Structure 1
Amino acid sequence: MQPFAAIALVLPVIGIPLWLVLVTAGKSRGEALTPNLALPSEWHLAENLATVWREAEVPAAFLGSVLTVVPAVAGVLTVGSMAAWVLARRATRLNAILYAFAISGIVLPPAVVTVVLLLRQLGLAGTVVGMIGVYMGIYLSTVIFFVTGFVRTIPESLEEAAQIDGAGPMKVFVRIVLPMLRPVLATATILICLFVWNDVFYAFFVVGGRLDTLPLNLFQVASAGLYLNNWHLIFAYVILMSVPLVAVFAVAQRQIISGITAGAVK
């Protein structure tokens, strides 16, 4: 009975917003002026998606998002997993202090003004490289926190056996440790992708006006006179923007659930 009660509580919270987005994106402009949960009298979903794709320059914004998200996620997972492995295996007082400092970013938000000024001093303001660096700095703490606990569940005997066979630290990490981190890295990937893909706040201050990402382009589309109060087109854009994340989750869902379960057991 408890699982059904939990589903009954969660389903409206998740289902109602999704239903609102879907039915509004399928309505005509007149019907969508006041968004509600009613079905459209005639579905225009394909037409609205095609209009947004053509007029809102979605392909260019999608490319901008990919150029930002993929290197940022790959970089933060690589650096974070290597740092977490060292912090988990070398139990010294210095490493304990470094670990506490590394995960402090989870509760201490970065100062936007300071970040922008620092990027200007480095000559990275308004660049993709600067934006990637910002995202890596923000979410490195999350990866270290997730991976460190997971590494401690891996038997050290596996690494010691590889070292006896002559493997160096990098080879041990790549051949032994990294494949075992697949579940927790999948979990971290979907979480960080979700944050970075939907981010408009930091992107607006760092690359706003120089590079279009999907959230920035959606903000411009929603603010433009042509799309002002055109909720059917705005919600159609939201659907297009969400499709890549849904695809990533569908591919990695088993690994994500395994990573969450392993972390919870630990």
Structure 2
Amino acid sequence: MYGDIVSDNLDDHPPIDKRFLEGAPSTAWRDFKDPKLRQFPRHGSKIKWIDYLGHGREGIVFKATIGDKDLPVAIKRPPPQPLPVGDGWREAEWPFEDGSRTVALLEKIRWAMADAAADSNTTIRIRDAPRRKADVIENLRAFSDEARHQSAEATPTAHDPTRPPPPFPSLPVCYGWTTVRWDELPRLDPPVQDEADERVDWHWAIIYEFVPGETGKTQDPAVGQSHLDFFYALGFALEAYKPDNWHGGRLVDLNDICSPFSDGWQKAAVRPRDAKKWFSSLGFVQDSTCSHKIVP
């Protein structure tokens, strides 16, 4: 099944940037505080819908290829929302807003860490075990242009309360946001609730690296621990463990984390975790299994 990527009616939108997601993002502190996800570069390319991957309250996910690229991607479409009315969006965040802000912030952090590793004139140091939201915000500021150069000029003391951040974990790469016409979205058999909303011309979507996974496959505690340590150090709140959202120890659904700049962030969800205990926990009731197929 094929569909077109389209982009229009974007005068009023969530935290996104119309510029294409190509090259380094801005890592100035003003942009860290207001992260915006850049646009998927290949608008107008054909989408070949390959398979249904899953759905939940944050949206529905499909495996697909785009244009002449054979490499599959994951396309996540959040729950349908009506077009903006009046001066803006409703006050409460919905998954597309939260997801866009989170992945844009992670992209800035990844680029800042790469820059610091390559440039001896910059460095990143964060406070260990952030206890307050102010500590979390200060740790995020450490990745900004201003703080990286400032830290490099500072002379460490014997009782320096800061340390380098944990390595960036193997999170799936985000390729940007896009829109897809509602009538080009694949239909499923049996159907999934709110597959598409006919009241709107198009639906938002975020395109990610496709990470293969098998239900019930053993998680890798070492890989998972690198994720958990990173999220704690940088103050990302983490939802309860959902087995389908972790493949081999990798978190593949980034709506499971919440940045301090999101409305849903809670300090109580930011704490050190042990991967072995984490992967043996189950904080939700799993839906009954049902095989959904794309209708040709």
TM range (shorter): under 0.3
* Max Rg structure: 1
**More strand by proportion, 1 or 2?**
2
**More helix by proportion, 1 or 2?**
1
